[in-house]
Amino acid sequence: MGYWNRIPSVLGGRRLILLLGALYILIAIGRATVHTISGTPITPILVITTFIGGSGLVLFVGGYRLPETDVHPQFYSTIATWCLIGIGTMVVVLTLYHVQPDTDITEPNRSVPILTGFSAVAGFGVGTNAAKAKTSTLELKRQNRKLQQIQDRLEESNNRLAESNERLEQFAYAASHDLQEPLRMVSSYLRLIENRYGDELDKDGEEFLEYAIDGAERMSAMIEGLLEYSRVDTQGKPLEPVDLEAVLSESLQDLELQIEENDAIIEVEELPRVKGDASQLRQLFQNLISNGIEYSGDERPRIAISAEQNGEECVISVHDNGIGIHPEDQDQIFEVFHRLHSHDEHAGTGIGLALCQRIVERHGGEIWADSEPGEGSTFVFTLPAATDRNSAQSSPVLT
């Protein structure tokens, strides 16, 4: 069919069908006019004109109404190609018959088997295409049933996973909450020993006591972080339109002391409105900015916060000029209690970035780090946009 496809591809499938229809209508009108002038009886003129003009009318009206059908415009040329193949095939067959001088195709004993044979072949072609279409439909139904079965199994698995996660969250909350009370008692008695008997302890005793107190306080901070981590989904507020600039302003107020003590520079570009939980987003910014200051190394901390809207989501970046993260560690930093440095080098519980990831995922977004050792780090996360307002203007504000 490569040869037959050339003409429709040049003229356009629908246009070619309309031209063929118009051509047959003109042939019918022209032939009827000529035979009427020559005195041919009206009955055969009407019959032949109906046959030829009717075919043209079907082609013309059918081509005109193609956009109203379910046929994709891409396949108009396929219809036109089959029309040309049909015309070409019939021309060849009739030509072969007419080159035989003793053959009269109009005789019933010849015309009936010939035309019915042609009809059978045409029916075979149409039927084959219809059978292929039904076969494809049947296969699609089978695939759909399989997909539905897979989807049902996935829904069951998701439901079980959701129930399991809920039980784990309840367990983590209960365990963390119940651990706080005895830990507070341990810390209180250690402080009591320090206050009452501190003067009686030698240097080693004072050091041991300080280690015990420090360990109890760190454990308390870790349990508090675990509590906060377990509450992200269960204690979160409904997502609603939030002004990120207002959220960031509150986060900077919470970090005011740390910013002043480290003489940190905070550069903020215009931020968009998003759909989120303001209190959790406040915690998100607070953790990322605090990390940027904590891991600034010997340099004066500089944190740059920017955003851009990409369709229905906003992409927010928090860049610092700190010590950076090795590429092979960048996937692990979001794990609970995972630390890249000892507590003596840098304070922290090892939950901050895991909490950031949990908050972002609760908002339907993603978070990742782009960093090289000694080159600083950029934490990027996505949030659902609340409006079409375009953000990310380059007008830094220094804090």
What helix, strand, coil percent values describe the chain, rounded to 5?
65, 10, 25
Q: How far is CA 82 from CA 5, 88, 122, 183, 344, in A?
A: 9, 10, 11, 84, 81
> What is the structure's pLDDT at 397?
43
Sheet of 302-310, strands arranged across: 367-371, 377-384, 313-320, 302-310, 265-268, 397-398
Instruction: Render the burial of 291-314: b for 16+ CB within 10 Å, e for the rest.
Output: bbbbbbeeeebbbbbbbebeeebb
pLDDT at 131: 62
| Token code pair at residue 62 | 């059918």
Q: Is 320 helix (H, G, I), strand (E, B) or coil?
A: strand
Cα(84)–Cα(7) distance, integer angstroms: 9
Which DSSP helix (H) or strand (E) runs through 171?
helix 108-197
Parallel, antiparallel, or unpaired: how do β-strands 302-310 and 265-268 relate? parallel
The CA distance from 131 to 133, in Å, is 5
Our CA angle for 254, 239, 354, nearest 5°, is: 55
Residue pair 340/396 in contact (Cβ under 8 Å)? The answer is no
pLDDT at 393: 41
Phi, psi (rounded to 5 degrees) for 197:
-120, 10
| pLDDT value for 271 | 92
pLDDT along the chain (399 residues), means of 10: 57 82 88 87 86 84 83 77 77 71 55 55 57 74 88 82 71 69 80 82 83 78 72 77 93 91 91 91 92 84 91 91 77 67 53 87 89 85 75 42
Structure tokens at 206: 């004072």
CA distance 22 to 213: 97
State how far the alpha carbon of 275 is from the alpha carbons of 144, 305, 313, in Å: 35, 18, 9
pLDDT at 201: 80
Per the structure block, which two tokens stand in for 190? 């250690």
Q: What's the predicted TM-score (pTM) here?
A: 0.50
